[in-house]
Amino acid sequence: MSSSAEKSGEQEHSFFLNGETISVRAFPMERLLDVLRVELGLTGAKEGCGEGECGSCSVLINGELVNSCLVPVAQVKGTHVTTIEGLAKHESLHPLQEAFLECGGAQCGICTPGMILASVHLLEKHPQPTLEQIKEGLSGNLCRCTGYMQIFEAVRKAAYGESQR
Amino acid sequence: MTERHIIGAAVPRKEGRDKVTGRARYVDDMTLPGMIFGATVRSTIPRGKIKKISFGPGIAWDGFVIASASDIPCKNCIALILEDQPCLANGAVNHPEEPILLLAHADRHLLRKAVDAVSIEYERLPALLAMEESESKKEIIWGEDNVFKTYLIEKGEVDSVWKDAAHIVEGEYRTGAQEQLYIENNGVIAAYDAEAGVTVWGSLQCPYYVHKALMALFGLPAEKVRVIQMETGGAFGGKEEYPSMISAHAALLAKKSGRPVKIIYDRAEDMVATTKRHPSRTRHRTAVDANGKILGGEIEIAMDGGAYATLSSVVLSRGTIHAGGPYYWPHVRVRAKAVATNTPPHGAFRGFGAPQTIFAMERHMDRIARAVGVSPIEIRKRNFLKTGMTTITEQEIREEIDLSGLLDRAVKLSNYDEKRKEFGAVKNGQKKGMGVAAFLHGAGFTGSGERYLNSMVGVEGLADGTVRVLVSSAEFGQGTNTVLCQVAAQELVIPYELVTIAQPDTTVVPNSGPTVASRTAMIVGKLVQSAARGLKQTLIGSGFLQGTYTPEEFRKACKEFVAVRRALKSYSRYEAPPGIYWDDSKYKGEAYSAFAWAVYIAEVAVDPVTYGVSVEDFVALQEIGRVLHPLLAEGQIAGGVAQAIGFALYEKVVWQEGRMANNQMTNYIMPTSVDLPPIRVFFEQNGNVHGAYGAKGIGELPMDGPAPAIVNAVEDAMKIRFDSIPLMPEDIFRATTVRQDA
């Protein structure tokens, strides 16, 4: 296939990205992760495994937590996509971002954007989560640095306003 | 918070805000104008000669840049300790996934197809796929005898102890390979310019290791190689030596293509091709008196180094020195060797040989306890090192230590005694048990290592009156940036916010040594402290600052100094602490300037239906000198314990023909948030005079103890001995079935 023929396979995809309408040209089967990172320059979502196992590419689509490495861009047409870049309002951090900072929830930082979005999703479902609900809610996001303890702490802090240890 | 209490305070992580907002820049987040992508064609067999390379149909090969060994300007090797590992195979391969050819193209998708379209014909040679095959010497694949390195420690006269022994206890213990599994895969970008030379941006731990390797590969002087560390998404040793290889590859392609080249491994390639923890086998034969006191013993260690020497000699060294654990051995002989096999080279991984030999020691201690008929707690108390005693390398313990007290505290914290009583009976169908491990970990390079490293750090006053720390020590999650800024701020008596740290860039920062061996807070921190003191003295000595000052006065003085004298920099170079003596030929003397000490206790439950082991509670108590940053220290310990739980129970590398067969996160399983117990972290604080503000190394320590504590607990629960990790449900099933049949 020549490169011009390939170009002709591209389509226009419109969706809401972090609250703003956006339109991007891409192949329908292009991974949302690549469209975000390469076409749109939002590099907060990371590729850890490319097969939906590690969760470091997590984003929210209509409030649902998904691995953007498994989502073809065609599938997000008309939806609301939230990435880590859409979480902080200008310079003021989201309470979960503050809590991650305060409790040591971010070490190397590579899982952090996905982990924070998973936490947002978790607190939407369970505003006052038990430890079991926190563990379950974050079980699709792997962290190799923290042993998760300080991440649990951060989620509790964001939910209850103070640490529960 | 006042600047007087910066050390010991949980100040905000320097790069934390960037990390929680997604702004932190990792190498794959970076793009350069004209940048193309690189990929690696690798061997599919463990050992053989390359007969023919063909470029298959269906690919427009004209559009690809192709580099091979013949494109290497100078030495075809990845310079590290030895120079035996080629950058690209030249005629022969010695392990699966050995790099042979490099391809570059602007289209990532096409690149992948092209890699698959290259076919290589080999003349196969017999391969050595296990340590025992290597030891049999049925083939010689490295040097004269397949042996990378041997060590011998002789303390006292071990041959004299056997006749007086009430018990002679023997055991053999094995540990498997383990993947570091940092969540950010390995990756670099390289650019080449005939004038400027090579520049590399990468995810890496040791900028000056890459610098050294590129100088040798290209035959370039130091100033024509520039290495910049990008934000690094986890490393754990896995980005200690391998980034030199990827950097070399990207740089060769950059030179040949004339464009910047990015090579980012995907997970499958990272897992199958890069380093893992050395598999090990340790044998103990110990003479014990009737009271359970160790009279002496022999320890034999073997580690599988894979196909090239890389870091095996130093991994083995640390394993050897830690083999006696925190116990007093009047007589001991340790023989250790690292052997070659036709697997990808094993390499640095948190703990660096110590987790392997400490697993053996701590499993063996439980075996000795059973032979003697005392509890696992009691046997350890009777043999602990005390102040004034000597280690197996005859290093005298000069600091005040109280390991029995540490053990007592861990026993209390874990409710060990009550729980063991309670677990006597089977509950809810699950069998439960408690296990303990006591251990030590030496901080910094071994023996004369720190002297050879000769590290240098700088502290710089800037035009705006703030201060910048200059080190090549990399941040990859542990908190390097934060802790080193704390040290400088404390020494200068200025707020933490006024201190920043330079991005590691070999054109900007001096060589403060590699970011490994639990050396950063303790050794580099001490140098930062002394460089900061030098900066303060310069300001005071030159009259810009009074002896006592406010932060505002400091800032003003710093500004004025820079305005008048243009630059304000203070450097400090490593000096060995007094009284440190090490004999490298006899392996005797002061192996480390400080040890951290720890007692870990695991509570486990074994499911009688699935045979799965779950860790229900975990107490990690350690003495690490002064805790510089409680939150970061706790995070290091909890993270290390989690990784070591994986080492013990989940993470099994399946080998086929010398190649990792399960190179995916779906079939190589690391602990998730639902797999871990509460990891309860406690510190005892003793001052260590050598480290910055009394700090000892901490990063690797938590990797050492969990595996033996857990397997000891499984034995306590099942009354069956397991001496090999990872301990998988199928192993327990098999052992249970065998026992019932017998």
Closest to A103 measured CA to CA, from A146, A162, A151: A151
Task: Give the span between the Cα atoms of B593 and B64, in whole angstroms.
Answer: 52
The residue range of the domain holding A143 is 95-160
Distance (Å, rounded) from C-alpha A158 to C-alpha A138?
15
Same domain, B54 and B187: yes
Q: Which amino acid type is present at position B653?
A: V
In terms of residues, how long is chain A?
Answer: 165
Same structural domain, A105 and A145: yes
Nearest CA to CA, how far is A41 from chain B (Å)?
Answer: 9
Domain boundary among B256, B273, B290: B273
| B605 shares its domain with B504 | no
- pLDDT score for B738: 77
Domain boundary among B242, B273, B304: B273
Given B234, B634, B679, which is nearest A144 (Cβ)?
B234
Does residue A4 belong to any structural domain of this protein?
no
Whether residue A38 is contained in a domain is answered as: yes
In angstroms, the CA B250 to CA B263 distance is 6
Are B382 and B358 in the same domain?
yes
Cα separation, B329 vs B284, whole angstroms: 13
Q: Residue A80 maps to which CATH number? A: 3.10.20.30
Residue B635: its chain A contacts at CB < 8 A?
A: 104, 107, 145-147, 150
Q: Which residues of B touch A83 (CB under 8 A)?
A: 22
Distance CA B489, CA B406 (A): 32
pLDDT at A101: 98
Return the bridge partners of B599, or none.
Answer: B438, B621
Chain A CB within 8 Å of residue B426 CB: no
Give me the number of domains chain A comprises.
Answer: 2
Domain contains A22: yes
Residues A78 and A100 in one domain: no
Residue B228 zone, left/alpha/beta (φ > 0; ψ -120 to 50; rest): beta
The answer to the question of residue A128 being in a domain is yes
Q: In chain B, which stretches have pLDDT less than 70?
A: 1-4, 425-428, 687-689, 739-742
Residue A116 forms part of a structural domain: yes
Which structure tokens are listed for B57?
Answer: 């149909």
Q: Number of folded domains in chain B?
A: 3
> Which position has the token pair 């310990």?
B637
B483 touches chain A (CB under 8 A): no
What residues of A are in contact with residue B632 (Cβ under 8 Å)? 104
Which of A62, A85, A108 marks a domain boundary? A85
Q: Which of B273, B299, B321 is the last residue of a domain?
A: B273
Strands (E), B12-97: 36-42, 48-55, 65-67, 92-93
Question: Measured between CB atoms, which of B184, B635, B672 is closest to A146?
Answer: B635
Q: What is the pLDDT of residue B426?
A: 63
3-state secondary structure of B682: strand
* Contact across the interface for B664 and A49, Cβ inside 8 Å: yes
Those residues whose C-beta lies under 8 Å from the C-beta of residue A86, and which sit 6 or more positions away, are A17, A18, A19
Residue for token digits 């990891």? B679
Considering only CA atoms, which of B340, B425, B291 is closest in space to residue B84?
Answer: B340
- B461 and B554 together in one domain: yes
Residues B308 and B379 in one domain: yes
Same-domain status, A14 and A80: yes
* Cβ of residue B635 closer than 8 Å to a chain A Cβ: yes
In a domain? residue B17: no
B644 and B541 within one domain: no
Do B553 and B680 reside in the same domain of the chain? no
Give yes or no: residues B538 and B608 share one domain: no
Residues A101 and A78 in one domain: no
For residues A62 and A108, state if they share a domain: no
Specify whether B614 is located in the same domain as B728: yes
B230 and B257 co-located in one domain: yes
B438 plus B459 within the same structural domain? no
B403 is a domain residue? yes
Q: Are residues A70 and A134 in the same domain?
A: no
> A100 and A35, same structural domain?
no
Query: What confidence score (pLDDT) does residue B2 get?
Result: 47
pLDDT of residue B580: 79
B17 → closest Cβ in A101, A149, A150: A101
Q: A80-82 and A11-17: which strand pairing?
A: parallel
Q: Could you tell me if B664 lies within 8 Å of chain A, comparing CB atoms?
A: yes
Domain CATH number, residue B61 = 3.30.365.10
Any residues with CB less than 8 A from the CB of A17 and at least 6 apart, and which? Answer: A40, A42, A81, A83, A86
Q: Are residues A14 and A67 in the same domain?
A: yes
Last residue of a domain, one of A61, A85, A109: A85
Given the structure tokens 């954007």, which residue do they identify? A113
Cis peptide before B243 (omega within 30 of 0): no
Same domain, yes or no: A148 and A116: yes
| Interchain contact B16–A (C-beta under 8 A) | yes
Domain with B255, as residue range(s), is 36-125+181-273
Q: Which two tokens stand for residue B109?
A: 């998708």
Q: How many CB pairs under 8 A join A and B?
A: 165
Is position B163 within any domain?
no
Asked if the structure places residue A137 within a domain, the reply is: yes
Helix axes B630-649, A149-160, angle to 10 degrees: 130
Per CB-CB distance under 8 Å, the chain B contacts of A65 are: none
User: CA-nearest residue of chain A to B629?
Assistant: A104
Does A9 reach chain B within 8 Å, measured CB to CB?
no
Residues of chain B positioned with their CB less than 8 A from the CB of A101: 12-13, 16-17, 20
CA distances from A18 to A56, A155, B249, B667 (A): 18, 22, 38, 34
Residue of chain B whose Cα is closest to the Cα of A49: B267
pTM of the predicted model as reported, rounded to 2 decimal places: 0.97
- Is B264 found in the same domain as B284? no
Q: Does A29 touch chain B (CB under 8 A)?
A: no
Contact of A99 with chain B, judged by CB distance below 8 Å, is answered with no
Percent of chain A with pLDDT over 90: 89
Evaluate whether residue B661 is within a structural domain: yes
Interface check for A69 against chain B (CB to CB < 8 A): the answer is no
Domain C-terminal end among A35, A65, A85: A85
**In angstroms, rounded to a whole number, what is the distance separating the alpha carbons of residues B31 and B191?**
12
Q: Is A5 a member of any domain?
A: no
Q: Is the dihedral of CA B554, B556, B557, B563 positive or negative?
A: positive
Token pair for residue A63?
């409030």
Beta strand extents in B125-202 (DSSP E only): 147-155, 167-175, 187-193, 197-202
Q: Which CATH number characterizes residue A116's domain?
A: 1.10.150.120
Residue B317 half-sphere exposure toward CB, CA atoms < 13 A: 22
In whole angstroms, give the CA distance from residue B512 to residue B526: 11
Q: pLDDT (tens digit, 9 = 90+) per residue, A98-150? A: 999 999 999 999 999 999 999 999 999 999 999 999 999 999 999 999 999 99
**Tell me, what amino acid is at B314?**
V
In a domain, B218, yes or no: yes
**Tally of CA atoms within 13 A in the half-sphere of B607 that contains its CB:** 11
Could you tell me the two tokens for B576?
């060995």
* Residue A2 in domain: no
> Could you tell me which chain A residue has the CA closest to the CA of B476?
A108
Contact A109 B632 (CB under 8 A): no
